[in-house]
Structure 1
Amino acid sequence: MRYDEEFLSIPHVVRRAALRFGDAPALVDGDRRWTFRELEEGMVAAVKAAIALGIEPGDRVGLCAPNSAEWILAALGIHGAGGIVVPLNTRFKARELSYILRKSGAKAVFASSFLGNDYIADLTSADPGLPALRRTVSILGPQGAAGQSWPDFLRAGEAVPSSLVHESIDRLTPDDISDVMFTSGTTGHPKGVILTHGQSLRAYGWMSQEYTFTSADSFLVIPPFFHCFGYKAGWLASLIHGVTVIPMAVFDAGRALALISEEKVSVLLGPPTIFQDLIGHPERSRFDLSSLRVSMTGGTTIPESLIRAMKSELSFDIVMSAYGLTESTALVTTTRIGDSEETVAATTGRPIPDVEVAIVDSEGQEVPLTDPGEILVRGYNVTRGYWDDPEATAATIDADGWLHTGDVGRLDKAGNLLIVDRKKDMYIVGGFNAYPAEIERTLLTYEPVGQVAVIGVADERLGEVGCAFVVVKPGHEASGADIIAWAREAMANFKVPRHIRFVEALPRNASQKVLKDELRTSFEREVTP
């Protein structure tokens, strides 16, 4: 089934869901609940308000808020008016947000007060001439420095005829741009990834069908909406199949366990840390988790023991792993139902339909099967390019349409993709290439190691060596010498970390990726006289 043809656009999904699922629960946010019909009504009201605000087809609009019903309604309002959503990372500082709003040419910004931040006030102080500040809406919490509160925004749209809303939605096509998703900017400034309605609907319509989403399911969406994991694989995939969406603004393992029990949550996707925290919560046994059914985890190394624990301790029937990056609509490969626990833990599965994966060397030539190389992706899921950055686009997507991911991987004989590491994270030990993700995966099989991150650090004799930052499992003990001695038995000598640092927790961003730059800074600060 080609979801881009069936649904046309993201607002079309809501229309169709209202027809198919009617009074079934669509959205639960605290004590507030919407049926699918009510969600469509909320979308129409938000589109009216966006039109009244002056949002026109092709306009970019920033959206900076935690996971919430208002985030979804604001995005639907922008889309329905023909606008392009620019999701903003709630962990970013004002200058970072200002750069993205200027680079995208945003006409307006929707934001909230969150974790003690009034984003619009901060933006006004940092960049008072920012064009997006001429139209500002506070979608959660107090109005603060915003020009309109959410209720005022909706009231302003009441005079707009409903006919204009439906005409606007009817004009949308699968090829229209739905989002400009800015990368995290780990090197240089963030780049705006252009994605269309059709790309997202086709990819996540297929994924959610493969993962057996049904209208009987409810989905606690923990990954942030400013990332495809929470937005596309989360609430959008749910609406396609009539799944009830339960957004969670800030992850708290105890509260998540309570919500799973209270709302009979059956679908829960996220990075491994979420599931490790749920499994390790001291009061987990108090909660009824029997409703949990489907999960997918990825984005980092996954120990096989975690896959088993997700089934035995959290009651999941289906556990999947997947791989993607924003430039590929965040979906390239995924395991399938029936794959072994070893396959789910060690690989990210096979390419999704109509998407190609190639593994190439530094000269762009395909490497022999099972050899590592850079992962290239080609298909409908590849971004149309970076916003207002043709040079970066040309450097990333070649003339044959291949997306150069910058990730290193290899294919096994069954066609499963194994992620070795990021090219930029690789370090060289005495002439040998060392890949942190591979080393981390091995270290996680040592019983005392709960979490680990490996970086390359300078070494006078070998050029670079590994330093492992380790979080020890509760109830276990291990010394640095213990870990190094175990590693010498488990891996080639050049891969063995020469330094071990024990930490209470690994620094992570809002998407739960480990901030390795912070680890490098910590190590350098320690060794610098």
Structure 2
Amino acid sequence: MMLKQTIYELLTEMGEDENENQILQFPDEDKSFTAKKLLECVNAAARGLLASGLKHGDRFAVCISNRSEWAILAVAASATGTIMVPINTSVRQNNLRYFLDKAGVKLIFYSWTYKHAKHQKLFSDLFSKNDNLNKVKSIVLDGNESDISESETLWKDFIDQDIHKLVNYEKNVDACWLVQFTSGTTGTPKGVKISQSSALNVAMAYCKATELDSHDTVLQVLPYFHCIGSVMGFLPTFIRPSKSIITSSFIPEQALQFLEKYHCTVMLGVPAIYLAMMRSTNFNSYSTSSLRVLGIGGAGCPSNYFDLISKSFPSSTVMCAYGLTEVSSMIPAPKLTDSYETRKNSVGRPIDGVQVKIAGDQLSGELLVKGFCVTEGYWENPQKTNKLIDTAGWLHTGDVASKERDNCYKIIGRNDDMIEKGGEKISPREIENALEKILTDRSVCVAGVEDDKYGEEIIAFIESRSGTEVQELVRDCSAIKNQLSQQIMSFEIPKFIAFIPSFPRSSSGKVKRNSLKELYINHKLIIEPLRDKLTM
């Protein structure tokens, strides 16, 4: 059964209950909220939005880390019918200007204390240099009254405005609630329209997949400004009352401390997060035995990392789901009862209410999606929307997948990442899988670079943190090449291996392949020939 309530209505029901259990806790702020207390704060913020001149359908932006104000404002948007625009806290000024202009933002929230007043300077410079943004009002979450400008208001004054009633409006759960800008790793960022209905029902599917209940304590380290954080990291508490421990940002040692201190049972992350925790010097001194579920999303999980994470968190069932911003972050998901091999080698089955198929009804090809989770489209970008969603309502994900046993799906890679070499279409993911079986403790990324002879040539990038590691890998090249030749076709073997201390990644954990290509082309990496040393 689909949820038909708004987020605000769900919280109101919870707030009317006499239950005094905490639902959200922000240790970095030393704040915690029962449903009743959160509802009081949401109502104050909702009145602040209306007093600031926002009406139904107007947009406000939030450029803050995982703070309590983010959660309050997200529900306040639901209460007032306004639209929230989450912005990455690492945003650059040109992108920030683009987001505010594109979404027609009337009000923006930010913190002066974020990273040593970085945002204070960022926003001050932005508004002083752009006359067209002068009408955007600013709410500063912290700071001194004597330091703020005429266009700025402190949070404490924002939530203490003289409006006694919330305006009733016709609630539409299918209307836009968030405009979530994509990371822009494949071009200009696009503003994805996300409705409350889509977000809540995807979050409910996540609750079912993890079997979340009132006994669970969830550790939330993913940033709210990404879809996976704002949907699966934030909303489940309102659907299956549980407790969430929210960190303002991800710090590996702190995450381990909170896991142990709060006896967390569920955690959602990307592979890079779990690997950083495992590499922490004191990893073995912390107890993670309370964990029963480790969810992996975002960038996908190489099989060698799945094994490593499962071994390092032995009390947990590790499961990989798949999604993208345009479908509110999750389409298929496995079951906790699925076998280890199924959870390792697939992203599970389509969630209830969603159809999934391979383009052209083939065994492998582009993954298409249809159902409640599909976005209405990109904000003020009909051309890109029409390219994304066809006339039959199928969303084209741009990801290549294969259908496996038991109606499960396996993600092979991005369509855009496929390598065209000498007339052959080659999947980087397949080569990465082969390399990861050989280099079990290394991060690997395969990409195609322009080549006069074949059109594109294959380069394997390997993360190596020291010169000693690089030397060892160079010595092992012949063995690596011979093992590769037993797993993949000869024309799929990379021409070169390029070594890099750490991969450039987006804030959601995705490797920036184009940045790797640029480093290779500009001779910024240590490169070792691979294919010409192959002994057949």
Answer whether TM exceeds 0.5 for this pair.
yes
Give the direction of change, closer, same or farther, for the CA distance of 1:26–1:144 in structure 2 (3 Å limit). farther
Match of 1:274, SS?
Answer: helix
Match of 2:514, SS?
Answer: helix
CA drift at 1:449: 4.1
The equivalent residue for 2:448 is 456
Alignment of 1:366 with 2:371, yes or no, is no
C-alpha offsets along residues 49-99 of structure 1, whole Å, 9 cap, x if unaligned?
Answer: 111112211001111111111111122223322200111122221111111
Give the direction of change, closer, same or farther, for the CA distance of 1:472–1:36 in structure 2 (3 Å limit). same
Residue identity matched to 1:383: T
Residue identity matched to 1:27: L
C-alpha offsets along residues 118-171 of structure 1, whole Å, 9 cap, x if unaligned?
Answer: 14224214534215x53111235667666012112112x2x221xx23x54x74
Q: Assess if the C-alpha contact under 8 Å between 1:449 and 1:470 holds in 2.
A: no
Residue identity matched to 2:428: P
**Could you say what the CA RMSD is over the residues aligned between the two structures, in angstroms?**
2.3
Match of 2:267, SS?
Answer: strand
Q: Assess if the C-alpha contact under 8 Å between 2:26 and 2:245 holds in 1.
A: yes
Alignment of 1:436 with 2:428, yes or no, is yes
CA drift at 1:376: 0.9
Alignment of 1:2-21 (within 5 A): 2-3=2-3, 5=4, 8-20=5-17
The equivalent residue for 2:399 is 407
Residue identity matched to 1:154: I
Residue identity matched to 1:210: A
Alignment of 1:308-323 (within 5 A): 308-323=307-322
CA drift at 1:19: 3.7
The correspondence for 2:509, drawn from 506, 509, 512, is 512
TM-score (norm 2): 0.90
Match of 2:502, SS?
Answer: coil
The correspondence for 1:152, drawn from 140, 143, 157, is 157
Determine the C-alpha separation between the residues in 2 that align with 1:484 and 1:276: 26
The correspondence for 1:393, drawn from 381, 385, 391, is 385
CA drift at 1:258: 0.8
Give the direction of change, closer, same or farther, for the CA distance of 1:283–1:101 in structure 2 (3 Å limit). same
CA drift at 1:333: 0.7
The correspondence for 1:489, drawn from 486, 491, 496, is 486
CA drift at 1:355: 0.8
Q: Assess if the C-alpha contact under 8 Å between 1:84 and 1:180 holds in 2.
A: yes
The equivalent residue for 1:275 is 274
The equivalent residue for 2:534 is none
The equivalent residue for 1:127 is 130
Give the direction of change, closer, same or farther, for the CA distance of 1:173–1:315 in structure 2 (3 Å limit). farther
Moved more, 16-25 or 46-55: 16-25
C-alpha offsets along residues 344-401 of structure 1, whole Å, 9 cap, x if unaligned?
Answer: 22211111112111211xxxx322xx3x211111111111111111121111111110
Q: Assess if the C-alpha contact under 8 Å between 1:301 and 1:437 holds in 2.
A: no
The equivalent residue for 1:78 is 77
Determine the C-alpha separation between the residues in 2 that align with 1:518 and 1:305: 24
CA drift at 1:517: 1.7
Determine the C-alpha separation between the residues in 1 that align with 2:340 and 2:126: 47
Match of 1:299, SS?
Answer: coil
CA drift at 1:178: 0.7
Determine the C-alpha separation between the residues in 2 that align with 1:407 and 1:514: 15
The equivalent residue for 2:528 is none
Give the direction of change, closer, same or farther, for the CA distance of 1:439–1:216 in structure 2 (3 Å limit). same
Match of 1:108, SS?
Answer: strand
Moved more, 456-465 or 505-514: 456-465
CA drift at 1:426: 0.9
Determine the C-alpha separation between the residues in 2 that align with 1:192 and 1:437: 28
Residue identity matched to 2:419: Y
Alignment of 1:182 with 2:189, yes or no, is no
Alignment of 1:47-62 (within 5 A): 47-62=46-61
Determine the C-alpha separation between the residues in 2 that align with 1:39 and 1:139: 17
Determine the C-alpha separation between the residues in 2 that align with 1:304 and 1:427: 21
CA drift at 1:491: 1.5
C-alpha offsets along residues 442-500 of structure 1, whole Å, 9 cap, x if unaligned?
Answer: 22222454211111112333221221211248997422444333322321122222111
CA drift at 1:413: 3.3
C-alpha offsets along residues 423-458 of structure 1, whole Å, 9 cap, x if unaligned?
Answer: 111111222111222222222222454211111112
Q: Assess if the C-alpha contact under 8 Å between 2:402 and 2:410 holds in 1.
A: yes
Determine the C-alpha separation between the residues in 1 that align with 2:73 and 2:34: 17
Give the direction of change, closer, same or farther, for the CA distance of 1:144–1:486 in structure 2 (3 Å limit). farther
Determine the C-alpha separation between the residues in 2 that align with 1:312 and 1:18: 41
Length, aligned pairs only? 511
Determine the C-alpha separation between the residues in 1 that align with 2:235 and 2:141: 20
Determine the C-alpha separation between the residues in 2 that align with 1:461 and 1:23: 69
Alignment of 1:25 with 2:22, yes or no, is yes
C-alpha offsets along residues 200-234 of structure 1, whole Å, 9 cap, x if unaligned?
Answer: 11121122123111122222211211111111001
Match of 2:248, SS?
Answer: coil
Moved more, 293-302 or 231-240: 293-302
Q: Assess if the C-alpha contact under 8 Å between 1:70 and 1:140 holds in 2.
A: no
Alignment of 1:85-484 (within 5 A): 85-113=84-112, 114-116=114-116, 117-118=118-119, 119-130=122-133, 133-140=135-142, 147-155=152-160, 157=161, 159-161=162-164, 164-165=165-166, 167-168=167-168, 171-360=170-359, 365-367=360-362, 370=363, 372-472=364-464, 477-479=472-474, 480-484=477-481
Give the direction of change, closer, same or farther, for the CA distance of 1:419–1:486 in structure 2 (3 Å limit). same
The equivalent residue for 2:531 is none
Residue identity matched to 1:356: Q
Determine the C-alpha separation between the residues in 2 that align with 1:351 and 1:289: 30
C-alpha offsets along residues 174-216 of structure 1, whole Å, 9 cap, x if unaligned?
Answer: 1222111111223442211111111111121122123111122
Give the direction of change, closer, same or farther, for the CA distance of 1:332–1:45 in structure 2 (3 Å limit). same
Give the direction of change, closer, same or farther, for the CA distance of 1:445–1:19 in structure 2 (3 Å limit). farther
Unpaired runs of 5+ residues, structure 2, are: 526-536
Give the direction of change, closer, same or farther, for the CA distance of 1:187–1:77 in structure 2 (3 Å limit). same
Determine the C-alpha separation between the residues in 2 that align with 1:448 and 1:210: 29
Q: Assess if the C-alpha contact under 8 Å between 2:300 and 2:322 holds in 1.
A: no
C-alpha offsets along residues 230-273 of structure 1, whole Å, 9 cap, x if unaligned?
Answer: 11001111232122222222211111101111122211101111
- Identity value in percent: 31
Match of 1:414, SS?
Answer: helix
Q: Assess if the C-alpha contact under 8 Å between 1:183 and 1:190 holds in 2.
A: yes
Determine the C-alpha separation between the residues in 1 that align with 2:441 and 2:216: 34
Determine the C-alpha separation between the residues in 1 that align with 2:251 and 2:65: 14
Give the direction of change, closer, same or farther, for the CA distance of 1:293–1:128 in structure 2 (3 Å limit). farther
Match of 1:234, SS?
Answer: coil
Residue identity matched to 1:115: K
Q: Assess if the C-alpha contact under 8 Å between 1:110 and 1:136 holds in 2.
A: yes
